[in-house]
Amino acid sequence: RPDLFVWDHARGRLARVTRGANVRQGDPSPDGRAAAAVRCAAGTCDLVRVELATGRVTTLRAGTLDSVWTRPRWSPDGARLVAGVQANGRWRVVLLDAARPDAAPRALGPTDDAERYDAAFADDGRTVVYVSEAGGIPN
C-alpha cells in the first residue's frame, strides 16, 4: 500500500507520514501542515486530506465505482483545491473550496465531451492549467 513521505532535501531527511494508508499523489498545502491526496481501495479513489504532523487521513470527497478522484493540487493561497474526477465515463477538472470540501465542486472548462485532467494552479492563483483532449490528442 502506498504511503506519503516528506523529503527534506536540504537536510537530507525522509520522514514517513502515513502507514498502510493507501494514500498517493500528495500535494502539500502552502502552509506545510497538510497534503491533499488520493486514497484508492477496492476500485474506488477518494479525495483526502492528510495532516503531515500526525498522518491523520480525512475524506474530503468519497469516490464511488462511478466517480474516481485524481491528482489534487492546492492553490497558492491554500483556499482552493483543483482535482480531476472521472464521472459518467468522462474526466473533468473541478474546483473545490478547501475550507468547505463538502460544498459542491465547480466544473472548469467547456461542457463538451472532451476529456480534461492533470490540473494545476498557475503562480497567480487565479489561472488553472490542465490537459485537454478537445483537439483529439492531449494538449
pLDDT tens, position by position, 33-58: 999 999 999 889 999 999 999 999 99
Beta carbons within 8 Å of 87's beta carbon, 6+ residues apart: 66, 67
- Rounded to an integer, the average pLDDT of 80-96 is 94
What is the predicted pLDDT for the residue at 111?
86
Burial of 25 by CB count in 10 Å (0-12 exposed, 13-18 middle, 19+ buried)? buried
- Rounded to an integer, the average pLDDT of 103-123 is 93
Does residue 118 surpass a pLDDT of 90? yes
Question: What is the share, in percent, of the chain residues with pLDDT greater than 70?
Answer: 100
Q: What is the mean pLDDT of the chain?
A: 94
- What is the identity of the amino acid at 15? A
